[in-house]
Amino acid sequence: MGHYVPHTDAEIAEMLTFLGMSSLDELFATVPEALRLAGGLELAPGLSEPDTLAAVERLADGNRRAGRELVCFAGGGAYDHEVPATVRRVAFRSEFVTAYTPYQPEVAQGVLQALFEYQTLLCRLTGMEVANASLYDGASACVEAANLAVAATGRQTVLLSGGVNPQWREVLRTYAAGTGHEYLTCPVAEGVTSWPEVDQPAALLVQYPNYLGALEDLATARQTADRTGALLLVAFDPVAAGLLRSPGAYGADVVVGEGQPFGTPLSFGGPYLGLFATKREQVRRLPGRLVGESVDVDGRRAYVTTLRTREQDIRREKASSNVCTNQTLIAVACAVQLAWLGTSGLGELALRCARGTRYAREALLAIDGVEPHNDAPVFREFAVTTPTLGEVVVERMAEEGFLAGIPLGEEYGERGLLISVTERRTRDEIDAFVAAFEKVIR
C-alpha cells in the first residue's frame, strides 16, 4: 500500500463486492471521460527542504502584505483588527492547540471548559439562550441557520436579504442545490432590505450591519417574520455588539456570524470562525458540538459534550445537520480576546471603529465627485460611489500604499467601493488615505 493510498487491494475488492461491481472502472463510470486523469501528473522533481523554503520565499516576495506594505481599509467579512499578545500567548498554549472537540472529556476538561466559556460569552453577545461550540465560518453558519429554519417550519422558501455578504449567499445557494429549498433574494433600497409579501416563508435571513455596513431595521424584519410565521435569522457583527442592541433583543430566533475579528488575524482567507446561537426551544436542531456542564462521580463540576444523539455521527440521515466538527482553537482564541476586552473594552473597541468610520466617510464625501452609496447609518464600513470604476481605484490606491477596499461590482454598482475602518487605523493613516483617494479618482 502506497503512502497516500488508504485502501489495500483486499479492502477495495471487499467494497466493490458490497456495491455489486467488478472493477474500479465500473465504479467511476459516471465520471465523464474528459474529466478523468490519463497518465501521471507532470510534476517537477522533489526539492530538498532548503530549496523548498527558497522557492516559497520567492513566490511570497510577489505579494504585498496588508498591514505591512499596504495599510488596510478593506473589510467585507474579514477585518484588520488587533490581536493582543495576551490572546496569542494563552490560545496557543499546547493544552489548547487542537482544531477539534475532544471525545474523551475525562482527559480534556481544560479545552471543554474553554469552549463552555466561549458558548457563554457568545450567548451574552447575541442575547440568545444557547450557543454551539463553533462552526467553520460565517457562511456555513448561515447555511446551518437556514437548514434549521426549514426543518423547524416544514417550509422550503427562505427570504434572503440582498444585503447579506454576496459570498455567503453563493454558499447558501450551493448547499440549497442539495437540500432542495429555495432562496428568494430581497432587494436593498437605500442600504436596507425591502421585504416582499411572500406566502409562508420558512425564514428571513438578514445581516446586521449588512454587507454595505448599513444598519438594517430588525424591528421591521421581526414584524414581517411574525406576520408570515417565519423564523428571523440574523447574521450579526460581533464587534458591533459593543454599541448596538443585540439581535436577541429584537426577537431573533437564530443568530449567526463571523468570529474572525476576535483573536484571528488576516491570513489568506482563513481559518475563520462560525458563530451560532439560538433559543432553547431549538436546541435539538442545533448543529455541531455543544458543551455542557455536569458533575463527576465525586460531585465535582465537569464539562461534557452533550445532546450527542442529535449529531450526524450518531443519527446519520436523521441528524439535524451533517456538521461533525468545529473550530476549537479559533473559538478558544475568540473567548480569550472577549474575556480580555470585557464589557467596557468591547464598547471602547466598537466606539473607536465607529468614530474612525465617521471621520473617514465625512472626509471622503468632501471630495468632489465622491458620493454616498446610500444614506443609511453605518458601522465600521461604508460604501461610496466614485467617478472611476471601483477596481481601478483599488489598483491605483495599491500603488499609493493602501488596500483601499472592495469593488462593489455589478450588483451594487461598478463605480462603488466598500471601505472599512477598524480601531487599528490612526487619524494620520485616514488623512493620508483620503489625500491619495482624491488623487487617484481623477
**In a domain? residue 32:** no
Question: Per-residue pLDDT averaged across 289-303, rounded?
Answer: 92
pLDDT range class, residue 107, cuts 50, 70, 90: confident
CA 410/CA 389 separation, integer angstroms: 11
What confidence category does residue 41 fall into, taking pLDDT thresholds of 50, 70 and 90? Answer: confident
388, pLDDT greater than 70 = yes
Which of 336, 354, 388 is at the close of a domain? 336
pLDDT at position 4, please?
Answer: 64
* Contact assessment for residue 367 and residue 441, using Cβ atoms and an 8 Å cutoff: yes
44 falls within a domain:
no
| Residue 66, pLDDT score | 66
Answer yes or no: do 250 and 141 share one domain.
yes
Same-domain check for residues 386 and 401: yes
Structural domain for 171, as ranges: 85-336
- For residue 194, the domain's CATH number is 3.40.640.10
Could you tell me if 271 and 391 lie in one domain?
no
Q: Is the pLDDT of residue 2 over 60?
A: no
Write the pLDDT tens digit of every residue in 210-257: 999 999 999 999 999 999 999 999 999 999 999 999 999 999 999 999
What pLDDT score was predicted for residue 314? 66
Q: Which of the four pLDDT bands, split at 50, 70 and 90, describes residue 156?
A: very high
pLDDT tens for each residue of 318-328: 666 778 778 99
Give residue for cell 476538561: 109
For all residues of the chain together, what is the average pLDDT? 92
Same-domain check for residues 195 and 150: yes
**All three cell numbers of 15:** 467494497
Asked whether residue 137 falls in the same domain as residue 276, the answer is: yes
The CA-atom distances, in angstroms, between 238 and each of 88, 209, 349 are: 19, 10, 11
User: Please, which residues bridge with residue 203 across strands?
Assistant: 158, 231
Q: Are residues 186 and 307 located together in one domain of the fold? A: yes
CB 331 within 8 A of CB 116: no
The pLDDT score that the predictor gives to residue 312 is 60
CA 442 – CA 439 distance, rounded (Å)? 6
pLDDT of residue 98: 75
Residues 305 and 417 in one domain: no
The distance of Cα 422 from the centroid of its chain, to the nearest Å, equals 17
Q: Which residues contact 4 (CB under 8 A, 6 or more apart)?
A: none
Give the per-residue pLDDT at 1.
43
- In this prediction, residues 148-173 reach a mean pLDDT of 97
> Could you tell me the pLDDT band of residue 44, with boundaries at 50, 70 and 90?
confident
C-alpha cell at position 37: 486523469
- Does residue 32 have a cis peptide bond before it, meaning omega lies within 30 degrees of 0? no
Q: Which residues pair with 130 in a beta bridge?
A: 278
Q: What is the pLDDT of residue 186?
A: 97
Confidence of residue 313 (pLDDT cuts 50, 70, 90): low
**What's residue 38's pLDDT?**
80
Q: Is-contact 207 165, C-beta < 8 A?
A: yes
pTM for this predicted structure: 0.86
315, 289, 99, 341: CA torsion to nearest 10: 170
Give the residue from 336, 370, 395 where a domain finishes.
336
- Give mean pLDDT, residues 349-356: 98
Instruction: For residue range 55-82, list pLDDT tens digits in order.
Output: 998 988 887 776 568 999 999 999 999 9
User: Where does a domain end: 293, 319, 336?
Assistant: 336
Reply yes or no on whether the pLDDT at 103 is more than 90: no
